[in-house]
């Protein structure tokens, strides 16, 4: 097995804020100012887990977070949400965007029922 070596670097960015990935690059510039190693070293010492294993866990966890979110959300809800945005952008009007917002709000509200309704139980309906 080969060992991977990664150099932690600070990312400096002062690019065009209208660029497609501007939000991500701005966050990269902000977050890479910090040194994560004191926290990782403390975790390693306290949990008796090698530093490299913790760093790998953090990287993999972040890398698969989109996939995990999709699995939790479900493909139908994700497609419905994407379609609402696509329709609004195709129309290009503030009214269409507002209608899309309300559609997304209803979808998110529906997804939150199991999290917010203390009486919710899967596969059961209340007697009518």
Supply the pLDDT for residue 1: 55
- Cβ contacts of residue 111 below 8 Å, gap of 6+? 73, 77
Cα–Cα distance, 125 to 122 (Å, whole number)? 9
Got the DSSP string for the chain? -PPP------------TTSTTHHHHHHHHHHTTS--HHHHHHHHHHHT--HHHHHHHHHHHHHTHHHHHHHHH-HHHHHHHHHHHHHHHHHTSHHHHHHHHHHHHHHHHHHHHHHH-TT--TT-----
Give the least confident one: 42-46, 96-100, 117-121: 117-121
Residue extents of the structural domains in the chain: 70-116
Average pLDDT over every residue of 110-126: 76
- Cβ contacts of residue 113 below 8 Å, gap of 6+? 120
Higher pLDDT, 91 or 115: 91
Contact 40/51 with Cβ under 8 angstroms? yes
Q: Is the pLDDT of residue 10 over 90?
A: yes
Q: Is the pLDDT of residue 79 over 80?
A: yes
Supply the pLDDT for residue 53: 96
In angstroms, how far apart are the furthest CA atoms of the chain? 64
Per-residue pLDDT tens digits for 17-62: 888 899 999 999 999 999 999 999 999 999 999 999 999 999 998 8
């Amino acid at each position: 097995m080969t060992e991977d070596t990664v150099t932690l670097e600070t990312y400096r960015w002062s690019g065009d804020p209208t660029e497609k990935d501007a939000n991500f690059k701005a966050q990269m510039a902000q977050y890479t100012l910090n040194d994560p190693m004191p926290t990782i070293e403390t975790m390693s010492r306290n949990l008796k887990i090698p530093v490299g294993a913790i760093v790998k866990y953090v990287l993999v966890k972040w890398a698969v977070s989109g996939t995990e979110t999709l699995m939790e959300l479900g493909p139908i809800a994700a497609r419905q949400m994407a379609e609402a945005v696509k329709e609004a952008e195709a129309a290009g009007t503030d009214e269409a965007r507002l209608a899309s917002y309300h559609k997304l709000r209803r979808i998110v509200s529906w997804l939150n029922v199991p999290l917010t309704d203390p009486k919710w139980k899967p596969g059961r309906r209340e007697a009518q």
